[in-house]
Structure 1
Amino acid sequence: MKKNRLREMLLLALIMLIGVACTKDDPEPFKAYCDVFQVNRMIASETAGHALAYFVYGQQPIKSATVLRSGDVDPIVLNEIPNTFSFGKEPVESDYDTTVVAAGEFIFNIVPETGEAVNDSDYFSPQNLEIPEIIEVTWPSTGPDMPVIKWDGTTNADFVVVKIKDSEGKYIYSTKKLSPSINSFTTNAVDGSFIVQPEKEGIYTIEVQSFLVEENINVSYAQFNIEELSIGEWEVVWP
């Protein structure tokens, strides 16, 4: 299984935060946005896996960050991704377990490059968000860059994103937020965009990602308040 690059999925949120500037004469206090959420995906045939992802975003550069589940002793060290305005830890293959993660409060300690450390918390509660099942991928006569993806299992999500990644796990295509009620999508440059064009006969993975936002949170602010992310995958050879 390729490493899931959640950092790219949340890059837009990072850019928004970097745009918040502080003046020399009237510096703003350091602020951080913390999020912990469960990632669900198939780790074997008919077997679902679950793991946690952690992210911290600051409007000023961050020096270090850790997260600790309430009641635990050893904190988890978060890493800089992709620059000092955001730290996080995304799940790797060995993190996934067949047991759903138990609910709990997670305490974040964030040390900015300038100023005092701050603590923040996020409460996680599993919601059993269904993993999308991709049914088929076809290429119509309009051309090889426009595959049609059909799936089931996203009606309980708040929104859906379709992504394509290469054999190294780097995303080359992503859509905007799509309605969870749809079950088919034709790749296009209006609802999404290619970072790089796919190579003929290259191996790619199409992902249907369904998102569940924390309760009482507007979907417009979902990037800081994800509760669960479920990912369905389909490997293709680009024609």
Structure 2
Amino acid sequence: MKPVEPVENEVKKGNLYGLGIGPGDPELLTIKAHRILTSVPVIAYPTMESGKVFARAIVADFIRPDQIEVPMPLPFSVERSSQPYYDIGAEKIAEHLEAGRDVAVLCEGEPMLYGSFMYIFNRLSKRFHTEVIPGISSTFASAAMLGAPLTFRNDVLSIMPATLEAETLRDRLAVADAAVIIKLGRHFAKIKTILQELNLFERALYIERATLPNQVIKPIAEVDPDNVPYWAIVMIPSQTNPQ
């Protein structure tokens, strides 16, 4: 049988990287993430409707002028579906991959834990070679910044978004050994009420923008519900005696 000869001038497809860049402090970037970030020809990242580009800002000092940048505008409001925006972003990235250019998609925190890269992964990983580079999640960075161990021994940790219905949150918090509540924003008042009902309010810890220069840690009783950012977390550490 005659061997199949390679197609002349066939372009090898590029590699897709999901780059976990951590919670905000650029010094928390891993060595591997830094190597890929500074070597790929194309960098993609989500942008907010307000025009803010948080992911790029974290690694701005490492981006070269000759690298191609692909902003991906995404709606961060519950009223608007993000699906068509991810479709558009994925196809922009695919154009570069088809042309043989490697692309690193920046993702705050850990790409596979509530990360925006998961939606790009689902759209492109079957078409292109894909590698995910783990990053430090804001949930665990917050525990370090608060100086509060999350779990001991056989504790079960629950991570839950504040966007859940109140009844669901109440049921899950009621049986949690330890918990991290993310995506607070306008949902803080709901969370506060639930914590008070479950007698967890005094145990709860509060942090905003963990590891960033404008990080805020304050007693949860002093938090103004009208001024809680999306990047805020309530942590309920374990009560297990570590002795």
More helix by proportion, 1 or 2? 2
Alignment TM-score, normalising by the size of structure 1: 0.27
More strand by share: 1
TM-score (norm. length: structure 2): 0.27
| Greater C-alpha Rg | 2
